[in-house]
Structure 1
Amino acid sequence: MKQLRLDGRWVVRQVGTARTWPARVPGDVLADLLRAKAIPDPFYRENENELHWIGQSDWVYERSFQVPAALLREDRVLLQCDGLDTFAAVSLNGRPVAQTDNMHRRYEWEVKKFLHPGRNRIRVVFASVNDYTRRRFLKDRIYSSVTGTLAGTHPSFVRKMACNFGWDWGPSLVSMGIWRGIRLVGFSTARLRDVRLLQTHTKNQVQLDVKLECETTAPAALRVRTTVLRRGHVVAEAAAACRRNRGRLTLIIRNPELWWPNGMGNQPLYEVRVELLTANGAVLDTQTKRIGLRTLRLDRHPDRWGESFQFVVNGVPFFAKGANWIPVDAVMGRRSPARYRALLQDAAAAHMNMLRVWGGGIFEDDCFYDYCDELGICVWQDFLFACMAYPSWDQAFLKNVEAEARDNVRRLRHHACLALWCGNNEMEQQAVGKVYRQFRTMTWPEYRRLFDQLLPRVVREEDGVVAYWPSSPHSPQGDRADYNNPKCGDAHLWDVWHGKKPFEWYRTCQHRFNSEFGFQSFPEPHTVFGYTLPADRNVTTAVMEHHQRSGIGNTTIMQYLLDWFRLPTSFEMTLWTSQILQGMAIKYAVEHWRRNMPRGMGTLYWQLNDVWPVASWSSLDYHGRWKALHYMARHFYAPVLLSGLEDANHKTVELHVTNDTARTVTGTIRWQLTDLTGKTVRAGTVPARARPRANTRITTLDLHREFDPRHRLLWIALTVNGKTVSRNLVHLARPKHLELARPRIRTAVRPVGNNQFEIRLRTDRPALWVWVGLQNCACRATDNFFHLQPRRTHTIRITPERELSVAAVRAGLTVGSLRDTY
């Protein structure tokens, strides 16, 4: 098999104009125009509003390329396109080849007759989707939670990334382009068409069944050889003849190294190499897949609370800890393996073991799933439907969706990280069986045609191992419209934020798996300064509201902020306090649900990342800077968590240890009740023994004699084998009612190499939510937004985003705490 890659340098121009700009493939027109400085930064101030013309225009991508004569001597020559966004007309040497209408599909066409040796030219014309979606909307007027850049444009009618039209956290920047790889492939005699790997686990061995399909250009005797390698060493090998263009082999891997999610064990990966051979042993085609040996299933069984919803790996149930994932960037041409790896490493660093790939985005790049395999991050994969009705009564639409689903199930099914296929996001909640005055939603039969019939059939036929779940949220028992049934299924809990319930409301929730919940914050000042002018820096200005896409956003942040904290004295302190508020909200929820295991067995907060710099629910902002929430997640998602549950009515605090490890944790809890100067009011130690993979209530502290909520803090720490494994703070009143004195925090800085600096901090009185930063440079810390107790040194490391001297770090170091915000 021969391959000629067509990625790299192209040119792009707007249809009807002569001027061209350099273009990169893979990429998109927005990235190309930005690189050429032909448009302003859409993320700065309100520039987005000046760029809608791009999505309303048609664009042409072109390039020349050399075709070697040897390629054309192959029996067949194919043009393969991994991603064309979206309405594309492809031609070679001025002759039409094909047209496409689905961003999420992989296309290939026979093109040998269009080519000649030497210089050839390819042209791809992209038509705007806006006119088409507007015409369809005027005809069908079906419900959509999103409108595009022009009135009446809706993503329901086109198989394109829905959030490209805008969302309540993202801009409306409709784009187009060759967004994934493109190549010519030539082959003779035969090629591998599909390779499927199935595992059967028994004691001390794994049986690997390899099923393949091949495509031939002429009758031939074919054989297939499969080799399994671990760290470059062959651990199993087999060969067999192909019959009727199909082959099947069985290999035994003895003493397998099992793959485990993050925090449960290692992530060993095996290479499976499948070769298609002629009768005399010549290699015609090769496919290589990297797999992890594991069983991973969704377990639903009747229990005393209803029906379980838990994931089980290698026979072991585990609590899913993680977040929801949205696309890396609103400008698709800015995606890169480095950005994927950085975001996923940060998720793993916060002890996450699962991410939900949300249905309004894309089936992610291969590197995303590769990195999840390596890091032990399980993937809940939505099919790409979200928050709107879809025309399932249209047979052409269904046929297109089926091809899209088959392409992507085949592409992703071998990954160790893949935990669940899910039909859609929130459609049962808002787009089925509802009555809206202006729009039609889907009827239940229309909905079932797509999500109860077509998609599960594709998963069954193309995968057959990973479970299918029709929607998120979904209740499999009782009334399907009761989508957040606490007895079964998964839930999206938005009573905090959209429903304006207090954070304490989370503690009333007994749901089985919480796949969405969240709270917003602003990005840090360094990020906000990047998209504003000084005059914009008030949360009520037009620019700040432009970078807030939730209709209730900034108002809701400020309402909750004043419920919990005193009014900040500056714009910057408002940004920081909002982050503390966000972290506190999610901490309330996660600690409660972890204490509630095994009744509840998962929390995936909304959301991990951002597509542009914006006020949102993310814990990592657009630049990958950790918000307070992400620092707090490293603690509340830790494998062993000590938490306190206060009861103001009874003047008690329950102490709980949640243990996700496979071993019993035995240690000592030290607790100290202090006043707001740090003076000890009462203290004690409690032996702690926490069962594996369970929550254990260790004791209940009776504090009725010393209970003075506005003047008391309870500091708790769990020590195991002489090492503190978890610390926490229980405040008995809302922080705005604590009469805190301003702490004097002393710091000592020393370089430790690789642009890292150790910071040692001490305080003379309690300092709550202490954060460390730099004046003129953002930085990453090993810990931040921590509580500093008098007479205890806390040591962290920071890494500036650019190279700095120790003198510059000392001069620019900033230390803040809650008391500094007002």
Structure 2
Amino acid sequence: FVARLQAEDYYSLLKDAADANMNMIRVWGGGIYEDDVFYDICDELGLCVWQDFMFACSTYPAFDEDFLENVRFEAIDNIKRIRHHACLALWCGNNELEQGIVADKWDTERIQMSWGDYSRLFDKLLPGLVKQYSPQTAYWPGSPHSPLGDRVDSNNPDWGDAHLWEVWHGRKPFEWYRTCKHRFVSEFGFQSFPEPATVYSYTEPEDRNISSYIMEEHQRSPIGNTTIIHYMLDWFRLPGKFEDLLWTSQILQGLAIKYAVEHWRRSMPRTMGTLYWQLNDCWPVASWSSIDYYGRWKALHYLAKKFYAPLLITGLEDGEKYTVELHVTSDKLEAVSGEVSWKLTDPAGNTISAGRRGVEIPANRNTLVETLHLADYVEQYGNRNLMLWLELNVDGETVSENFVTFSRPKHMELKEPEISYQVEKIADNSFKLLLKAEKPALWTWLELKDYRARYSYNFFHLYPGKKQVVLVETEENLSVAVLKENLVIRSLIDTY
């Protein structure tokens, strides 16, 4: 909670965001104006800040002059305090008022305020103060907001920013994200449970069922647990153990956000930004966060490190034509040369087809490199028995990799991957692991049973011929023997 926050807490969270290749943090209007140290750290780490004024999801008495005067002084204080920071990218008036809370007239039953009073506060007072005290920084009246056309159409795909919750709240399939052509997606999300070690901190053994009283008290979304299970049944085989269900929920969350972000990055330059909800938690709970209350990275955060990488390779499959478009997306400001390679295997890891080609990667845009036509292989092997592995190499180094299938993971007949590893201690509290597998291993993750650790990569895919280096940073200075004794390596097949 706010009163407990120290500079070290801010630094840890913001460093985690930067380490996952994020370049913007949104300070939400339902929270607080952050401490000075927050902005100092964002300056240091190169994180842009989308700064909401503290108005969110409610009506405000902008007809009252005393209220407006109070707002004026609070805004001036914070504008003057924050305005000099290099990280400050945007002042935003509010969160989600234009998304149904503003109407032609006041209606207390529907919790709506009038456009006239809304305009006094968010179209006149706040932008006027920003223009006076922080003229170098842009002002945006609300999020979401449509600057053209009908302002009530707050999520218009042709302009402005958008909050897209049709998957989580509307139960649209993950593929729905690929129909969205919005210009900047400033809010969307999907939930997961924290990992077992975090759940153990607030449960007794008899509570460890997601429908128990304690587990439901640590789930503040009324649709939360049922929605997670709905999508889990859509994508994965239902885990048999409580702990496996927790882990699988994280893989599911990561997959949902990966679907969305990869699509919007392929849509460059039409879509030029995504901010998923949310980075962290203020208590141990099932939530939309990618970092839990104790600072443990969920699967989503490890996946974000890859799907937000400056250079990204993705595959866009067509389940009717059985084609896969290979895309390379670059956030770099200069063109680079690279090589795209692909390998088609069966679930046992046997190579069916492979290829590679050089690619010139232009700056700050997406490039369709090639379209693979795989219908003949589908006819021969079936769509459940094909795995497509993608790699992008620049200067001899793999900078991005990805995985495509025509089938839901639940319908694939995975084999025991036979994962092996080597470990080397490279410094105090620091180890280097080299992993490989005899057969494909989807969403492979590492865990130390009795110790906390941070991994350079986790929830990654392995396949024959692929070696994965993982750097492990432990909180305690362990020996190699102790690390090996506590190391647990799992993949998707171990969840059912």
Contact 1:379 1:420 (C-alpha < 8 Å) held by counterparts: yes
Residue 540 of structure 1 is matched in structure 2 by: 211
The secondary structure found in structure 1 opposite 2:303 is: helix
Residue 595 of structure 1 is matched in structure 2 by: 266
- Give the residue type in structure 2 aligned to 1:552: I
Moved more, 536-545 or 437-446: 437-446
How far, CA to CA, are the matches of 1:809 and 1:725 in structure 2? 28
- The Cα of 1:778 is off from its aligned counterpart by 2.9
The secondary structure found in structure 2 opposite 1:548 is: coil
Residue 25 of structure 2 is matched in structure 1 by: 355
- The Cα of 1:731 is off from its aligned counterpart by 1.6
How far, CA to CA, are the matches of 1:791 and 1:638 in structure 2? 23
Residue 48 of structure 1 is matched in structure 2 by: none
- The Cα of 1:803 is off from its aligned counterpart by 3.6
The secondary structure found in structure 1 opposite 2:435 is: strand
Matched, 1:377 2:51: no
How far, CA to CA, are the matches of 2:483 and 2:189 in structure 1? 34
Contact 2:29 2:95 (C-alpha < 8 Å) held by counterparts: yes
Residue 286 of structure 2 is matched in structure 1 by: 615
The secondary structure found in structure 2 opposite 1:760 is: strand
Residue 807 of structure 1 is matched in structure 2 by: 481
How far, CA to CA, are the matches of 1:792 and 1:629 in structure 2? 22
- Give the residue type in structure 1 aligned to 2:483: V
Residue 471 of structure 1 is matched in structure 2 by: 142
Residue 35 of structure 2 is matched in structure 1 by: 365
Compare CA radii of gyration and give the structure with the larger one.
1
50, 58, 65: which is aligned to 1:388? 58
56, 60, 71: which is aligned to 1:401? 71
How far, CA to CA, are the matches of 1:754 and 1:690 in structure 2? 39
Matched, 1:698 2:369: yes
TM-score by length of 2: 0.97
5+ long unaligned stretches in structure 1: 1-330
Residue 640 of structure 1 is matched in structure 2 by: 311
- The Cα of 1:777 is off from its aligned counterpart by 2.3
Residue 358 of structure 2 is matched in structure 1 by: 687
How far, CA to CA, are the matches of 1:366 and 1:750 in structure 2? 41
- The Cα of 1:460 is off from its aligned counterpart by 0.9
317, 330, 334: which is aligned to 2:4? 334
- Give the residue type in structure 1 aligned to 2:14: L
How far, CA to CA, are the matches of 1:413 and 1:774 in structure 2? 44
How far, CA to CA, are the matches of 2:394 and 2:481 in structure 1? 38
How far, CA to CA, are the matches of 2:61 and 2:422 in structure 1? 63
Contact 1:689 1:698 (C-alpha < 8 Å) held by counterparts: no
Contact 1:526 1:778 (C-alpha < 8 Å) held by counterparts: no
The secondary structure found in structure 1 opposite 2:332 is: coil
- Give the residue type in structure 2 aligned to 1:401: V
Residue 458 of structure 1 is matched in structure 2 by: 129
How far, CA to CA, are the matches of 2:392 and 2:272 in structure 1? 23
Residue correspondence of structure 1 range 270-289 to structure 2 within 5 A: none
- The Cα of 1:520 is off from its aligned counterpart by 0.5
How far, CA to CA, are the matches of 2:91 and 2:166 in structure 1? 26
Residue 395 of structure 2 is matched in structure 1 by: 721
Once the two structures are aligned, what percentage of the paired residues are identical? Answer: 59
Runs of 4+ with deviation above 6 angstroms: 434-437
- The Cα of 1:771 is off from its aligned counterpart by 0.1
Residue 299 of structure 1 is matched in structure 2 by: none
- Give the residue type in structure 2 aligned to 1:471: G
Q: Could you report, residue by residue, the CA deviation over 1:7-55 in whole angstroms, capped at 9, with x for unpaired residues?
A: xxxxxxxxxxxxxxxxxxxxxxxxxxxxxxxxxxxxxxxxxxxxxxxxx
- The Cα of 1:808 is off from its aligned counterpart by 1.7
Residue 510 of structure 1 is matched in structure 2 by: 181
Matched, 1:771 2:442: no
333, 344, 347: which is aligned to 1:676? 347
Aligned length: 492
- The Cα of 1:748 is off from its aligned counterpart by 2.1
- The Cα of 1:437 is off from its aligned counterpart by 7.6
- The Cα of 1:663 is off from its aligned counterpart by 1.9
Contact 2:100 2:152 (C-alpha < 8 Å) held by counterparts: no
How far, CA to CA, are the matches of 1:811 and 1:377 in structure 2? 39
The secondary structure found in structure 2 opposite 1:578 is: helix
Contact 1:516 1:605 (C-alpha < 8 Å) held by counterparts: yes
The secondary structure found in structure 2 opposite 1:761 is: strand
TM-score by length of 1: 0.59
- Give the residue type in structure 1 aligned to 2:76: R
Residue correspondence of structure 1 range 153-552 to structure 2 within 5 A: 331-433=1-103, 438-552=109-223
- The Cα of 1:806 is off from its aligned counterpart by 2.2
- Give the residue type in structure 2 aligned to 1:334: R
Moved more, 748-757 or 721-730: 748-757
- The Cα of 1:499 is off from its aligned counterpart by 0.8
- Distance change >3 Å, CA 571–CA 465, structure 1 → 2: same
- Give the residue type in structure 2 aligned to 1:598: P
Contact 1:421 1:466 (C-alpha < 8 Å) held by counterparts: yes
Contact 1:537 1:571 (C-alpha < 8 Å) held by counterparts: yes
- Give the residue type in structure 2 aligned to 1:759: L
How far, CA to CA, are the matches of 1:528 and 1:383 in structure 2? 34
Contact 1:405 1:455 (C-alpha < 8 Å) held by counterparts: yes
- The Cα of 1:805 is off from its aligned counterpart by 2.7
How far, CA to CA, are the matches of 1:622 and 1:342 in structure 2? 12
How far, CA to CA, are the matches of 1:676 and 1:419 in structure 2? 46
RMSD over equivalenced CA pairs, Å? 1.2
Contact 1:526 1:777 (C-alpha < 8 Å) held by counterparts: no
732, 739, 751: which is aligned to 2:425? 751
Q: Could you report, residue by residue, the CA deviation over 1:428-456 in whole angstroms, capped at 9, with x for unpaired residues?
A: 11311188783542011011111111111
- Distance change >3 Å, CA 450–CA 439, structure 1 → 2: same
Residue 565 of structure 1 is matched in structure 2 by: 236
Residue 332 of structure 2 is matched in structure 1 by: 661
- The Cα of 1:721 is off from its aligned counterpart by 1.9
How far, CA to CA, are the matches of 1:471 and 1:754 in structure 2? 48
- The Cα of 1:660 is off from its aligned counterpart by 1.1
- Give the residue type in structure 2 aligned to 1:613: P
Residue 228 of structure 1 is matched in structure 2 by: none
Contact 1:715 1:730 (C-alpha < 8 Å) held by counterparts: yes
Q: Could you report, residue by residue, the CA deviation over 1:624-666 in whole angstroms, capped at 9, with x for unpaired residues?
A: 1111011011110001001100011111100000011122221
Moved more, 477-486 or 793-802: 793-802
Contact 1:486 1:512 (C-alpha < 8 Å) held by counterparts: yes
- The Cα of 1:749 is off from its aligned counterpart by 2.2
Contact 1:490 1:513 (C-alpha < 8 Å) held by counterparts: yes
How far, CA to CA, are the matches of 2:166 and 2:371 in structure 1? 29
How far, CA to CA, are the matches of 2:369 and 2:455 in structure 1? 32
Q: Which has the larger helix fraction?
A: 2
- Give the residue type in structure 2 aligned to 1:429: Q
Contact 2:107 2:113 (C-alpha < 8 Å) held by counterparts: no
How far, CA to CA, are the matches of 1:750 and 1:617 in structure 2? 35
Q: Could you report, residue by residue, the CA deviation over 1:361-413 in whole angstroms, capped at 9, with x for unpaired residues?
A: 11101111011111110000000001111111222111111100000000000
The secondary structure found in structure 2 opposite 1:726 is: strand
How far, CA to CA, are the matches of 1:797 and 1:440 in structure 2? 51
- Give the residue type in structure 1 aligned to 2:389: W
Contact 1:389 1:427 (C-alpha < 8 Å) held by counterparts: yes
5+ long unaligned stretches in structure 2: none
- Give the residue type in structure 2 aligned to 1:417: C
How far, CA to CA, are the matches of 2:94 and 2:361 in structure 1? 38
295, 310, 333: which is aligned to 1:624? 295
Q: Could you report, residue by residue, the CA deviation over 1:526-582 in whole angstroms, capped at 9, with x for unpaired residues?
A: 111111111111111111111111110011011111100000011110010000001
How far, CA to CA, are the matches of 2:362 and 2:157 in structure 1? 25
Contact 2:58 2:111 (C-alpha < 8 Å) held by counterparts: no
How far, CA to CA, are the matches of 1:699 and 1:423 in structure 2? 43
- Give the residue type in structure 2 aligned to 1:339: D
The secondary structure found in structure 1 opposite 2:274 is: strand
- Give the residue type in structure 2 aligned to 1:700: T
